[in-house]
Structure formats: C-alpha cells, structure tokens
Amino acid sequence: MIIGIDLGTTNSLCALWINGEAAIIPNVHGHNMTPSIVGLDGNGEVLVGLPARERLLLHPQLTTSLFKRYMGSNKTVKLGPRTFRPEELSALVLRSLKDDAERFLGESVTEAIITVPAYFNDTQRKATRIAGELAGLKVDRLLNEPTGAALAYGLHQRSVESTFLIFDLGGGTFDVSILELFDGVMEVRASAGDNFLGGEDFVTALIDAFLNGPGNSLREQYTHEHNVEHFEQGHRLEQILRKEAERVKRWLSDHGSAKFKVSWQDQHFEWLISEAEFTRIVEPLLLRLRTPIERALRDSRLRTSDLNEIILAGGASRMPLVRKMVARLFGRLPAIHLNPDELVARGAAVQAGLTMGDAALDEIVMTDVCPYTLGTAVSERFGNDIQSGIYLPIIERNSIVPISREKSLITLTDHQRIVSIKIFQGESRQVQDNIFLGELEVPVPPRPAGEVEVTVRYTYTVDGLLEAECTVTGSPEKHRLVIEKNPGSLTPEEVAERLSELSKLKIHPREQLENTLTLNRMQRMYEEHLGDKRAYIGQLIGRFQKDLQTQDSRLINESRRDLNKLLDNIEGELRL
C-alpha cells in the first residue's frame, strides 16, 4: 500500500486511495490535520502534532514549528539537549502520519508519495526524500503540490482540452501552476511561486499593525523590561501574539470585524479591526501574490481569458480578501467546492492510486516542469576583454520534465588542462546572483585556446533531481556530476548516522497521547487564564491527574471526554 502525504509548513495530512477514491486518514486524535510541530516533553520523549502544539506556548525552547522553511539548509534547531536538522523534524512528522496510516489499515506501510512545493529546488527535494527515508518510508515520487490539487479535483479525467491555474496559498509558501490537459496528458505549462509567502505572513502583518496601533505600549513595555530592541523569536509574548493574531485572522474569514485581545503583566490590550482595515494592512502581501501569477502566465504565453478554471488550494486561500483579489484579477469566481486544506493530500492519494495501477483510475500521463533555469558559469570574450561569471542557461525554467539538454563549451586559454563546470540554478545573468549547486572538474588535453570542446549535458528527472554529465569531444570518457559542496544535503553515511540517532529517541507512547494532549491543553489554559477560571482549571488538572493514577482505562477515557467538553466551553467557539 502506498500512502499519499502532504507534508505542509503548518499542517500535514495523510491520505489513501481506497475503494476507488481518495480518503483522508484521521490521526490518533481523530483529526484530519496534524500540525507540523515537534516537541520534547518533560521526560525527553518526542511529541508530534497537537500535543506538541499545546506546549508551544509554555515550552518554546522544547517545541518547534515551521521547519519546512529550512528544508535543504544546514539550519538546526535545538530542543533540550539535542539538535535536529529540518529533515529529522520532518521525519518525525512523517513517522507519526505513517503510524496513523498503519493503525487505520492494520498493516505496515513502507511506501509513500510526498508532495513538495513546485518551487522547491533540488536540495530541498533531496532533503524531503531523506526525511522519508529517516521515517522508514520509501518515497515513490515527489509530487508537486499544485499538481496534487489538480488531481484531487479530478481535472485529469476531463475529456476536453482544458487549461487550469492552481493558486495554492499555504501556511508558508505560495505556488501558482498552470496545467494543461489534452489527449489524456496532464502537463504543467508553468509554475512560479514564492517560498517565503503564506498565511503566516498575514499573521505577522496583523501583529505588527496591533503593536504599532495608537496608544499600544506593549512593545515598549516588553523591550524596556527585557532590555532588548525587538521581541525575541519564540519568546512567550511572541507566541501569545501569534496565537491571538491567528485566531483574529480566521475570525475575520467569517465575520466583518474582530477584536485582538492580549493580556500581559496584568495589563489588557485590545484592538478592534475590520475586514477593510485587514485588507489595507495586508495590501503589500496581496501585491506580492500577483508577481508569480503574472510570471506563470507570461512563461506559458497565456492570458487570463485562456484559463478554463482557477482552483484555490491551501488553508490561507480561505481568506475572503484573497478570494476577492483572485476573482478581480481573473474576472471570475474560483473553484472552491473541495476543502482547500485537504486538496493536496487527496491528490497525493490519487497519485498513489495511479502508481499502484488501480483500474478505476484512467491512465494519465503526467508531466511536470522544471521550476528553475539550470545552467553553468562561462567566460565570454569581448575583443581583448574576458568577462567571467556569466550564466549560460542549459535547461530553461518551465521546460517539461523529464528533460535532457546539452551545450558545448570551448577552452578559453592556451594549454588549459582543466575545464571546471560549475552548476547553478537561477535566472540572473551573473552567476553570483544564482544558487550554486555543485562543481565538476573535467581534465582536458592541453591545446591552443578554443580547440578543445566539452559537452555539458543536464538531465532533470520527474522527481526534480538533476544530473550533469560532461564529455570531451573525441574522448569516450564521461564525467558525471558528484555534487560535493552541497551544504543542505546529507551524505548516505550521514543519513545512516542520523537514522541510528533518531532510533535512540524515545517517542511518547501512542496509547497515552490523548491523555497527554488533554493535560497539555489544561496546563496551557491554566497559564492563559487568571482568577476564578484559573483556579477552576487547576482543580480540573488535579482531578485528571488523580484519575490517571487509577490506571482504570474506562474511567480515564470517560473523565477525559467530560473534561474536554468543559474545556471546550471555557474556550468557546473561538478555539482554533
């Protein structure tokens, strides 16, 4: 059985192709979405998802989120005594989803389709594969998230030629893809995006506006108290503000106005915000959304009127101001009848069904595009002048993959012995502004300048992996690229080492997770509330701890259910 996984910045989901349709697998708490949050509890045991999210506020040093943003980089996160790479944190989320799927299916699961933003580069894709490996999953295919959204809508089953634009605004990334379907072939015509733009930025904008509001002295109070210039990342007040801003943002999706309320050191701060004001505050973000849309249209040589359908995906596309902006931009209403949070995971399950060869699914051929231009550094001669560090594109962005392209280069100086092929990704004419992927040194016979020719061939696979091969004309020898200087990627030895380190981690026992979640929730609420409510929550904690000591599972389950009802009442409908 192959499972489909949407490994998201804020939330992750797991889905299956079962009885001829895609179904989301609920997690151990009965929820479809698992927050992409990892933490350690007091015993040093790993918690993933909701129980970890409940601890984000009280134990920011032991909890981490948004690590998908650092996939493919060397940035590590310290949780308690141990440092984690982003692949390892993602692996812990994947492992939790894998456990949920195994429990649901009653069999072991070892293969998965994992989705990635279309905009993920080679290193980020490799890191995602490694995360799968560290979680004990063979990654059959990395599927671009927008392609997943199209599959979920069944767009691949249309009988007429159509063109769709997928607008996917998640927690941390924005992707635009233009897909074309003809003769059973689904082709990504163009994909563009912004790796650092998502729902979280709308939260940040709200926090800034709140803190800069007239008469709001919270920032000064905090910086004075702590003798610092800014809020420290991950600090408790920052977490409180983020949580409240998230609540306000969601409330504004269904209501015309909302109250931003924060209590800090016995002082209360309040701000009434209208949807119109929210729109004004996030105007710069709305403008940034237009850039990738325009680029995708330009690259695919299409006009908005050529598009048959606009599909909204990603939780942040729920915001009415985003929907209005899309409707205005395209002059029509976008398709929103499926849950935008679940689209990508459902699409991954459809792909899993296709991979498993389910007869109910029509055979479709899917093609993707390479999201960036891939090229090499060359020198150019202008008369007597030599300019180096010039970019020579080999595979142009938005070429359909798999693709293989070659370019020939000649030696620049007399008796040159080495031609060094530096591989870059990016769009700038100066290689220094592009991303360096790796380097290959090709020995050449010493001859006069221009007499030796080297052919550089790049092959980009459907999984977004790049291979470079160089041959010197007249020589049968092929030099294949081994990317050595790839700071964001682990070597196979390092993967093995990480795997053994990860296996030493204690994972919080699954059967206790529901109780832990309830306890964590109560502890968070105890800290958040004051006075009578706080005392009441304190009593509830004591009662539950006593119940837990009985080890009578029937009594504990009943008590937990009752308690959660009481907690729901306290948090009211505003609870996220």
Interface residues with ligand AMP (CB under 6 A) are: 8-11, 170-171, 198-200, 246, 249-250, 253, 314-316, 318-319, 341
CB of 517 to ligand AMP, least distance (A): 20
**Residue among 12 and 121 whose Cβ is closer to ligand AMP:** 12
Tokens of 13: 């989901």
**Which residue's beta carbon is nearest to the bound ligand AMP?**
199
What is the distance between the alpha carbons of residues 304 and 149, in angstroms, rounded to a whole number?
Answer: 19
**Residue among 2 and 248 whose Cβ is closer to ligand AMP:** 248
**Residue among 11 and 518 whose Cβ is closer to ligand AMP:** 11
Using DSSP, how many helices (H) and how many strands (E) does the chain show? 15, 27
Q: Considering only CA atoms, which of 292, 284, 313, 295 is closest in space to residue 169?
A: 313
**Identity of residue 28:** V
Give residue 357's region: left, alpha or beta (phi > 0; psi -120 to 50).
left
CB of 86 to ligand AMP, least distance (A): 16
Length of the chain: 576
- Helix (H), strand (E) at residue 175: strand 174-182
**Residue among 345 and 525 whose Cβ is closer to ligand AMP:** 345
What's the DSSP call for residue 385?
A: E
**Residue among 68 and 98 whose Cβ is closer to ligand AMP:** 68
CB of 518 to ligand AMP, least distance (A): 24
Neighbours of 264 (CB within 10 A): 15
**Residue among 204 and 486 whose Cβ is closer to ligand AMP:** 204
- Helix (H), strand (E) at residue 243: helix 236-254
End-to-end CA separation in angstroms for the chain: 33
CA distances from residue 30 to 34, 509, 551, 562 in whole angstroms, order as listed: 10, 17, 23, 17
CB of 574 to ligand AMP, least distance (A): 13
Tokens of 354: 């296709």
**Residue among 59 and 69 whose Cβ is closer to ligand AMP:** 69
Helix axes 236-254, 199-212, angle to 10 degrees: 110
CB of 35 to ligand AMP, least distance (A): 9
**Residue among 100 and 341 whose Cβ is closer to ligand AMP:** 341
CB of 432 to ligand AMP, least distance (A): 33
CB of 295 to ligand AMP, least distance (A): 22
What is the distance between the alpha carbons of residues 503 and 493, in angstroms, rounded to a whole number?
Answer: 16
CB of 178 to ligand AMP, least distance (A): 20
Tokens of 27: 């997690």
